[in-house]
Structure 1
Amino acid sequence: MSRSETGRITQQRIAQLAGVSQSTVSLVLNGRSDGSVRIPQETRERILKVIEETGYVADPSARRLAGGDNHILGVFTYEPAFPTESIDFYTPLLAGIEAGAEIVGSDLLLFTSAPVVDGRRQLFHERNRLRLADGVLLLGVEMDPVELRRLTEDDFRVVAVGRRDTPGIPYVGIDYAAAATALVHRAAALGHERASFLHRSSLGESVLDRRRGVVEGAATAGIALENRTTDGVDPKADWAAVRASGATLLIAEEPALAAAILDLAERDGVSVPHDLSVVALGSVARPGAAAVEITRLVPPREELGERAVALLARILSEGAEVPAADRRTLMECPIADGVTLAAARATR
């Protein structure tokens, strides 16, 4: 029996399929009895079999509705949070989540039991225990829209960190599109008419928002834009493409790639920003002491994490009373001036 054959799977549906009451299903899911009713082993096994066949995952809000408010907020990361390359992204975000949890008086539970396959976790993996938490924060550049739709169908209490296209998913995100457009317009005001844009191939909403902001900003400012998709593993090839483009402005999505290009430019005797201006659509959390101050977007990730916790706590407390406008919000993204953006060489 598959989920598609049964439609939305709830405890009530599990009870119908197993031929028992919903309260019996709840007792089995929570691994306890009510002190007066002993659940026969045969009945318990039948319920567990139905749960396994339907792929049902208990709603963490069900524990709250049953009086099981544990003051535990779950954190689920689609990508590993602690590899070296992820530390700069996740460190301020997790710091903000920790601060927010302290404010609302909750503990944090990081869900790691689902294995990472091809760099991603499955939210509804059989080993995941989302029901241990009262509500869950979702982290990741890319999230599975099928899983997100399932969360809304089953009325999970969740908040995504970052804007999501999936209808009904609450989120707190950053307005990358507006910030990227503003950064491009700043460059246009300095006389830049030709730009090279190095960006990722990801379909994550934050990546697409930055890309859209750059493309729209270039179009409205009259900048000729040359796009190059890169995974950042061969910066020499990226640098060669930038030089061949004749651009006076490089827009790098990844701050690390922008830094690598700066090193290659210096090696080749290209002066930044005299010969080439460089801007980045993000920033590292812990730049080195000798690092060049790149003109860049500065996502307020710590505040983002704290506000996501506040929204989740509000949803847990107020439920459906939280207005739709408050469930999906975008934060402004500041721009750091840096020293790598100057007037285009043709206008000096």
Structure 2
Amino acid sequence: MVQRREQEGRARTRQADIAKAAGLSQATVSMVLSGRPSARISEETRQRILELSGSLGYSANPAARRLAGGKNRILGVFTYEPTFPIAGLDQYYPFLLGIEAEAEDLHQNLLLFTSASGKGRARSIYADGVNQLGIADGSILLGRGEDRDEVARLAHEGYPFVYIGRREIKGADISWVTADYESATYEVVSRLAALGHRRLLYVGVTDPEEPNIDRFAGFSRAVEEYALETTVIRPADDADVVEQIGDELKVGATAIVIETPEDGARVFKAVKALGLDVPGQVSVAVLGDMAIPRARKQTWSGFGMPFGEIGAEAVRVLAELIIDPSVGPRHVKLPCNPRPGRTIGEASSGRQPTTQQ
């Protein structure tokens, strides 16, 4: 994480100071000090954070008071793609819930920007050279397919913003909040190794971006630590993966690790076409949440995304940047939620795919 620069003559205690003193993540400290319950935080840890906050002279939630002096008391939300709530799907909706709840706690209004570029045209922050987000004191950016040059321009102009999702922008260090994909993936592969799986098939995307790179880093770390055998395939979006998966299972792969939830459906469909039982004959892990109807129960194994917590933390980081621009840029990774599911089991031997006719 980039070191934050104090303004001259200032010595205000921040949550980062408490986190450092306690040997904890800033996300954990922030959750306790904001009064948000979490089953992952023990009572002992909570009391230690509260005691340290008192001894270090931390003023609880100063952002709400100091943000009141902002230009407009408006926080913007801008997306590069139409990822806002779609009826029946559970994808970006939880991001918005977290953003809204935290903005309300800080007594800020939210303004949704959907770009004025026109139908069928790529979304853009700028119109006629003017930053359209300027009406807001600062903004949260999210969505894939971003124009990285204009994100860099926004940073260079000093406009406060936070990206949801890690973004490495050439020529600019920006603030972002994301899930800790690497650690979560490492834990998934560690579980497979503990269940006796020695050969894994990894199904990834053809053009990996930062979240996929982080997932693969966690996969590679676990593979090396447990001395596992692996094959990595990155099929095109429209490719039929039945044959590729079948070939790997024939030579001894006992588990499939799917890099993105978007690939989950076609991989499960391919396994079914091969006539294999999950997890009796082959284990399948999905590295994240799928966009599925919320009424359906999520039964796959892997990990879940802390969508709401990411949204809330993005607002907290944005508030800090608005109050004191010298604190940025900030990089925050939040832990994912383990998902035991029903698609991982003990490794079995002697399986043979039998493609259904």
Greater RCO (CA < 8 Å, at least 6 residues apart) = 2
Structure 2 SS opposite 1:197: strand
Is contact 1:114-1:128 (8 Å) kept?
no
Give CA deviations for 1:257-313 in whole Å, capped at 9, x if unaligned: 324433443354211111110000111365565556110211101110011011111
Is contact 2:115-2:123 (8 Å) kept?
no
Alignment of 1:66-105 (within 5 A): 69-82=71-84, 87-105=89-107
Give CA deviations for 1:115-159 in whole Å, capped at 9, x if unaligned: 379885233343751111110111024544433322222111111
Alignment of 1:194-205 (within 5 A): 194-205=199-210
Give CA deviations for 1:22-71 in whole Å, capped at 9, x if unaligned: xxxxxxxxxxxxxxxxxxxxxxxxxxxxxxxxxxxxxxxxxx9xx86111
Please tell me whether residue 177 in structure 1 is matched to residue 177 in structure 2: no
Of 335-344 and 157-166, the range deviating more from structure 2: 157-166
Please tell me whether residue 270 in structure 1 is matched to residue 279 in structure 2: no
2:334 paired residue number: 331
Please tell me whether residue 261 in structure 1 is matched to residue 267 in structure 2: yes
Larger Rg: 1
Is contact 1:113-1:128 (8 Å) kept?
no
Alignment of 1:181-330 (within 5 A): 181-234=186-239, 237-246=240-249, 247-284=253-290, 287=293, 291=297, 293-320=299-326, 322=327, 327-330=330-333
Between the aligned partners of 1:70 and 1:191, the Cα distance in structure 2 is: 58
Give CA deviations for 1:188-209 in whole Å, capped at 9, x if unaligned: 1211122111122344311211
Cα pair distance change 1:83/1:180, threshold 3 Å: same
Give the C-alpha shift of residue 232 in structure 1.
4.2
Question: Partner amino acid for 1:305?
Answer: G
Give the C-alpha shift of residue 340 in structure 1.
0.7
Please tell me whether residue 135 in structure 1 is matched to residue 141 in structure 2: no
Is contact 1:298-1:334 (8 Å) kept?
yes
Question: Partner amino acid for 2:99?
Answer: I
Is contact 2:246-2:274 (8 Å) kept?
no
Cα pair distance change 1:116/1:190, threshold 3 Å: farther
- Where structure 2 has 5 or more consecutive residues not aligned to the other structure, the ranges are 1-65, 352-357
Question: Partner amino acid for 2:311?
Answer: G
Question: Partner amino acid for 1:138?
Answer: L
Is contact 1:80-1:116 (8 Å) kept?
no
Is contact 1:215-1:225 (8 Å) kept?
no
Please tell me whether residue 155 in structure 1 is matched to residue 163 in structure 2: no
Structure 1 SS opposite 2:241: helix
Task: Looking at secondary structure, tell me which structure has more helix per residue.
Answer: 1
Q: TM-score, normalised by structure 1?
A: 0.71
Is contact 2:160-2:318 (8 Å) kept?
yes
**Aligned-pair RMSD on alpha carbons?**
3.1
Structure 1 SS opposite 2:92: helix
Structure 2 SS opposite 1:102: helix
Cα pair distance change 1:122/1:221, threshold 3 Å: farther
Q: TM-score, normalised by structure 2?
A: 0.69
Is contact 1:111-1:128 (8 Å) kept?
no
Aligned length: 279
Between the aligned partners of 1:119 and 1:92, the Cα distance in structure 2 is: 27
Between the aligned partners of 2:87 and 2:229, the Cα distance in structure 1 is: 32
Question: Partner amino acid for 1:340?
Answer: T
2:345 paired residue number: 342
Between the aligned partners of 1:109 and 1:332, the Cα distance in structure 2 is: 28
Give CA deviations for 1:61-85 in whole Å, capped at 9, x if unaligned: xxx9xx8611111111122224859
Is contact 1:92-1:302 (8 Å) kept?
yes
Give the C-alpha shift of residue 113 in structure 1.
2.5
Is contact 2:181-2:218 (8 Å) kept?
yes
Give the C-alpha shift of residue 344 in structure 1.
0.9
Please tell me whether residue 109 in structure 1 is matched to residue 115 in structure 2: no
Question: Partner amino acid for 1:345?
Answer: S
Between the aligned partners of 1:257 and 1:174, the Cα distance in structure 2 is: 19
1:146 paired residue number: 149
Cα pair distance change 1:225/1:314, threshold 3 Å: same
- Where structure 1 has 5 or more consecutive residues not aligned to the other structure, the ranges are 1-63
Is contact 1:152-1:169 (8 Å) kept?
yes
Cα pair distance change 1:290/1:308, threshold 3 Å: closer
